[in-house]
Amino acid sequence: MTAAVRASSAAAGVVAGAALCVLAAGAFALPWWHGPTVALLVDGPSAAIDPLPLAGWAVAGWTRTAAVAVLALAALVAVSLRRRLPQILPAVAVVAAGTAAATVGVLGFADRGPASAAGAWIAVVAGIAAVLLVVVRSIRLVAVVAVAALVVVLLPGARAAHTEGPFVRIDAVPADQLGTVDGAAAALTATGVSVVDAAGRATLVAALQERGGTVLGIAGRRVARWVAADTVVIAGLDPGDPVWVTVRDVGAAGPVGADGTLWLRAVGDPAGAIRSLNLAAYDGEQALAAAYLPVVTIAVPGGVQAINAATLFPTKTGGLRFAEQEVGYRLERVEPTPDSAIVRHLAGGADPTCGASRTATDAFLARSGPVAVDADGGIWFAVDREGRDTLARLGPDGVLRAVPAPVPGRVHALVATADGAIVLIAVADAGPVLWRLPAAGAALADLPPTPEECIPAPPQVGPGVTLVPVGNSASDALGVPLGVDGRWASGRRGGLTPIEAVVPGERVPLGTRNDGELDRLQPDGVGGVWWVERVAGTTFQLVHGTPNAVEQRFPPVELPEPFRLVTDLSGQPPLAATPRGALRISEGAVSTVVPGDVRGGVVRAGGRGWLLVDGRLVATDGNRVVGPVVDAGERNGDTTPIAVQLARGVAPDRLALPRATVGLDGNGRAVVVADGVVLAVDDAGGVRVVAQDQRLGPTYAVEGGLVVHKDGTLLRVDLPG
């Protein structure tokens, strides 16, 4: 064979090799892998459907796919310019591209197994053929082939390229809920349920015919979801699974725990009642009423925050919940008993200066969120450190430890897997992303000890109060207390709304509301009520409703939102408390009586009043400020709970009041209720602590004193002394 013939043959081989490289790169858009048969979750027992195949780019990852595409494009360009380039360059480009495609295809087989679809075979065969077309004609390129193969093999995969600290990104699964399937993490997406294996791969196992409703959770091989406002169904995740359990008359339901149960409340149950639904306890098609499920508990001890089934995470020993405090949250374990429940404090102190410390009951928890329980009983949740979410684990010994690296976003869901990993959904600017923390226990580090200045559990600073039941507004949409004698205002939402004062044995008409809303209503101190109606946009009308049902309507005015009416028991038109000041409404105009951010107040008969302005309590004569009563000065924005401030030696008249309400006691004395602490204010401006009771909230200033409104029950507040 002459040299010219050999050169022509080699050139033809390079051109053909480039074409094969382009074919191999295009194969990444074809199906590469078929998963197992998928269960279709329909309105009834699940059906079996063929799975959607994964394209080559989804199996290989974006990094390797992009590398192959760039090398194939380079080979194509080099061949098209071969007459202007040294002869060896097009050959090298083809060998590099062919080797890359073949190697990535082989890695795809290794990653997903021999069940890979035709696309992977096309990439491998075309890549090898492209290399052979060049190499067999030029032994000198053998070294180039070896180097190119080595480079491609060492290309980082998609998962290795998507890491942040110890967190490894899992495929491209836009999940919004998590559960477990046979010990592995299960991610719920808009299309169905995907199981995440130890390698971080997500495989679709169940598809949703339509997402409708809310999925409560996944456990074992069952999924629980709402299908109507009061109906929960349980379906199987296996193709052809005959399970379809319908639970009707469900009033509230929480997430599915790792033990495969969820807690719920039946329609008609008392507010604190909890029932248990075990997802694995039923087979076939069944229908039952929630009232027939076993009762877990019906109440909690006095002074303990009521149980809400929707916020409880079931565990083998009870349930976990975040209970809101004056500032921050407490992590509590609810252990049911036949007629009540034991609530144990696990983590979360009252003092923000404690920060995230190793003693869990001292640590300050700035946020609530999802929890997960690992195989050793450790409780995982997110804590705030320097404004970013950090994963922390509370051990059975009460010690809190945390992962030093922050989570790549805000934790939305998390689950512990059987292999010791934590899988979580973190929401960042780009949306929700699925991450895996392998060997999660090994990633933990010790937190600092409790700071010396921390007061996580302040002492009791005053005696308790007496709460006397005086009325019950039940499920009335309005239900605003009017007096310590048990009177309350009744109304309904929408259209023309008759407002009535409900007294024992009768209803007294007070007038008709025209805007269909039920907010901004206050007693007038003489048997009637004031409210504000929205006319349009930010135009409002002050209305006075009286027991003879004759309304006095003031001309409409512009008011800044948000605002609320100040409780005025003098019979005069009340002020509007706004972020721009306390505003007086009269004759179609508004005027500023007290400037500043006014959060509320009270005016007693005679016109003397007290307003909460910029974190201070000031006294007024109805038209102007006559002096500050409680003023923390530069500390007015301090959010530290009142009991902690007092424990630090802050005088009652120097407290910061970011969460206070103000009212009158039975003798007309001004009282401030803040974080369960009651401060009495005399007319001379003296301030002292008179009581402390965590049951005080929310409190209402009404005719004759204070009333607490809890779950429809009106309770008169009797202060000690």
For residue 18, the model assigns a pLDDT of 82
**What is the reported pLDDT for 147?**
53
400 pLDDT above the threshold of 50: yes
Residue 71's pLDDT is what?
85
Q: What is the mean pLDDT of residues 107-120?
A: 68
pLDDT for the residue numbered 51: 67
pTM above 0.85, yes or no: no
Q: Which of 258, 260, 216, 197 is nearest to 421 (CA)?
A: 197
What pLDDT sits at residue 715? 93
Confidence check: pLDDT of 351 > 50: yes
Per-residue model confidence (pLDDT) at position 301: 65
Residue with more model confidence, 399 or 433? 399
Average of per-residue pLDDT values in the chain: 84
**pLDDT of 137 higher than 60:** no
Q: What is the mean pLDDT of residues 349-371?
A: 92
Q: Is the pLDDT of residue 96 over 80?
A: yes
H-helix segments, 27-138: 56-60, 62-80, 88-112, 118-135
The pLDDT of residue 700: 93
**Which stretches does DSSP call E strand in 290-408?**
295-297, 313-315, 318-324, 329-336, 341-347, 372-373, 379-385, 388-394, 400-402
Cis upstream peptide for 562 (omega within 30°): yes
Q: Which residues share a beta bridge with 577? A: 564, 582
pLDDT in tens, 193-213: 878 877 667 777 777 665 445
- Cis omega before residue 698 (within 30°)? yes
Residue range 531-559: mean pLDDT, rounded: 91
Residue 148's SS3 state is helix
In the structure, what pLDDT confidence band is assigned to residue 459 with cuts at 50, 70 and 90? confident
CB within 8 Å of 324: residues ≥ 6 apart:
305, 368
Higher pLDDT residue, 92 or 401?
A: 401
* Most confident stretch, 205-209, 461-465, 493-497: 461-465
Please give the structure tokens belonging to residue 52.
Answer: 């959607």
State residue 480's pLDDT score: 92
State the pLDDT at residue 15: 82
- Identify the pLDDT of residue 70: 86
Q: In this predicted structure, what is the pLDDT of residue 106?
A: 80
Q: For residue 329, which of 359, 298, 363, 301 has the smallest C-alpha distance?
A: 363
The pLDDT assigned to 589 comes to: 86
Of 156 and 667, which is predicted with more confidence? 667
Q: Is 143 helix (H, G, I), strand (E, B) or coil?
A: helix
> What is the rounded distance in angstroms from the CA atom of residue 309 to the CA atom of residue 314?
10
pLDDT for the residue numbered 597: 93
What digits encode the pLDDT tens for the residues 25-47?
888 888 877 766 666 666 666 66
What confidence category does residue 153 fall into, taking pLDDT thresholds of 50, 70 and 90?
A: very low
Q: Is the pLDDT of residue 54 over 70?
A: yes
- The whole-number pLDDT of residue 20 equals 84
Task: Please check the confidence at residue 159 and state whether its pLDDT lies above 50.
Answer: no
Kindly tell me if the per-residue pLDDT of 430 is higher than 80.
Answer: no
Q: Which of 531, 542, 472, 474 is nearest to 497 (CA)?
A: 531
For residue 631, pLDDT over 90 is answered with yes
Is 18 in a helix, a strand, or coil?
A: helix
Question: In this predicted model, which residue has the larger pLDDT, 698 or 401?
Answer: 401
Contact assessment for residue 420 and residue 437, using Cβ atoms and an 8 Å cutoff? no
Q: Is the pLDDT of residue 302 over 50?
A: yes
Residue with tokens 């209803």: 507
Q: Label residue 692 by pLDDT band (50, 70, 90).
A: very high
Q: 590-594 contacts: CB < 8 A, separation 24 or more?
A: 590/557, 590/558, 590/559, 593/620, 593/623, 593/624, 594/618, 594/620, 594/624, 594/625
Q: What percent of the chain has pLDDT over 70?
A: 88
| Mean pLDDT of the 405-429 span | 90
Q: How confident is the model at residue 484 (pLDDT cuts 50, 70, 90)?
A: very high
